[in-house]
Amino acid sequence: MPLLPGEATLGVLGGGQLGRMFVHAAQSLGYTCVVLDPDASSPAGTVAQAHLKADYLDGAALAQLAQRCHAITTEFENVPARALETLAATRVVAPGAAAVAICQDRSREKAHFVASGVPCAPYAVLRSGADLAGVGDDLLPGILKTARLGYDGKGQRRVTDRAQLAVAFRELGEVECVLEKMLPLALEMSVLVVRGADGQAVTYPVQQNLHLDGILAVTEVPAPGVPGALQAQARQSAVAIAQGMGYVGVLCVEFFVLKDGRLVVNEMAPRPHNSGHYTMDACDISQFEMQVRAMAGLPLREPRLHSPVVMLNLLGDLWFDAQGQLRTPDWAAVLALPGASLHLYGKAQARVGRKMGHLNLIGPTAEAARDSARQACALLGLPAEW
């Protein structure tokens, strides 16, 4: 039985911007929303009908969340799997603890890619210093990544030889790590797959991503550099990965396209994703509404991209002028551009590197969308060489 709009209450673990946009989508459909997040001014907590201000492992708060909600989701992948298990004893939890636990751990994630038959970079798991000697020469130069808690390029070191590898392993705290072979990348892209509890899965068009300083900067759809056959392969691979872990909800799978044209899976996030924000204005259903539908047991339908789009990530850097003084970007000028839609996350304090919002620029053609996006970059002082 689906949880019907206008009747059911949906809960979110985590109060960040992804939770906020989920709440907006759920409320728009007619659901009531409850957010659990310790921060009194969290972006999602301030827009939900109820905000439980407590830690994610606070037993009383989890009990209240379960009591008030018919189904519960998460908006960041490092939510303790134990919290999800507790909630799942009495409520629908999507995605489930087992799938989230795979996505939280790079070595389990890689093993799942291999089991799903989707090629990833050659890698080795390092659990202690004793494992360093067993690393094959073919993995160097490589990237050493902590198995847990890495994001936006944090928790990684690039290494060219064994001496550097040993130093990097120490610097990362001798915690479990994955060493990946450094691959020659042509470009990076990602795919959103949505799977329902009944096993039905749909995918969105492939998005091409540009990262600057380890943080997503620009997403373009349709992906200009990815041949159609490779896009189809990525979408099929994302479905296989989601099916293989009985995933329910929106999953974002990141891929590399190598210089020789091969497709390699990199990592995945068990939630709507920054690179999927384009869906809010360029598709007939957003990734957040899909998350609502999947957890509520409502029908998923094939999403349709109705307009080419460029998404620009807006970091707190834009709120500072050349002298380091706070300023408000000239949104009126930006919003005068054809096809521009602004989404700010309601964060009171801008900080360098902090995700403050995003700007979608759609157009009747890819060229028109890119043209608007380049003008937006010029107005905002963002790099436009993409």
Ligand X SMILES: Nc1ncnc2c1ncn2[C@@H]1O[C@H](COP(=O)(O)OP(=O)(O)O)[C@@H](O)[C@H]1O
Binding site for ligand X (CB under 6 A): 121, 143, 145, 150-153, 180, 182-183, 185, 188, 211, 214, 254, 266-267
Residue 108 or 211 with smaller CB distance to ligand X? 211
CB-CB neighbours of 330 under 10 Å: 11
Smallest gap from Cβ 175 to ligand X, in A, equals 15
Report the alpha-carbon distance of residue 284 to residue 303 in Å, rounded: 6
Report the alpha-carbon distance of residue 321 to residue 159 in Å, rounded: 36
Two tokens, residue 122:
């050659």
Smallest gap from Cβ 195 to ligand X, in A, equals 22
Residue 44 or 183 with smaller CB distance to ligand X? 183
Contact, 305 vs 231, CB < 8 A? no
Smallest gap from Cβ 336 to ligand X, in A, equals 33
Smallest gap from Cβ 238 to ligand X, in A, equals 15
| Residue linked to tokens 């999953």 | 251
What SS3 string covers 192-205? EEEECCCCCEEECC
What are the start-end ranges of the H helices in the chain? 17-29, 59-68, 81-88, 97-103, 106-115, 162-171, 228-244, 279-282, 287-296, 331-335, 366-380
Smallest gap from Cβ 149 to ligand X, in A, equals 9
Residue 179 or 221 with smaller CB distance to ligand X? 179
Report the alpha-carbon distance of residue 26 to residue 10 in Å, rounded: 8
Residue 210 or 305 with smaller CB distance to ligand X? 210
Helix (H, G, I), strand (E, B) or coil at 367: helix
Characterize 167-197 residue by residue with b for buried, 16 or more Cβ atoms within 10 angstroms of its Cβ, and e for exposed: ebbeebeeebbbbbeebeeebbbbbbbbbbb
For 234, how many CA atoms within 13 A lie in the half-sphere containing its CB? 31
Residue 158 or 327 with smaller CB distance to ligand X? 158
Smallest gap from Cβ 81 to ligand X, in A, equals 18
Contact, 164 vs 202, CB < 8 A? no
Smallest gap from Cβ 335 to ligand X, in A, equals 30
Smallest gap from Cβ 316 to ligand X, in A, equals 18
Smallest gap from Cβ 134 to ligand X, in A, equals 19
Smallest gap from Cβ 75 to ligand X, in A, equals 16
Report the alpha-carbon distance of residue 210 to residue 117 in Å, rounded: 26
Contact, 282 vs 309, CB < 8 A? yes
For 338, how many CA atoms within 13 A lie in the half-sphere containing its CB? 14
Residue 39 or 152 with smaller CB distance to ligand X? 152
Residue 18 or 93 with smaller CB distance to ligand X? 18
Determine if the peptide bond prior to 308 is cis (ω within 30°).
no
**Strand ranges of the sheet holding 71-74, from the earlier edge strand across to the other edge:** 50-52, 32-36, 9-13, 71-74, 92-93
Residue 136 or 228 with smaller CB distance to ligand X? 136
Residue 91 or 211 with smaller CB distance to ligand X? 211
Residue 151 or 320 with smaller CB distance to ligand X? 151
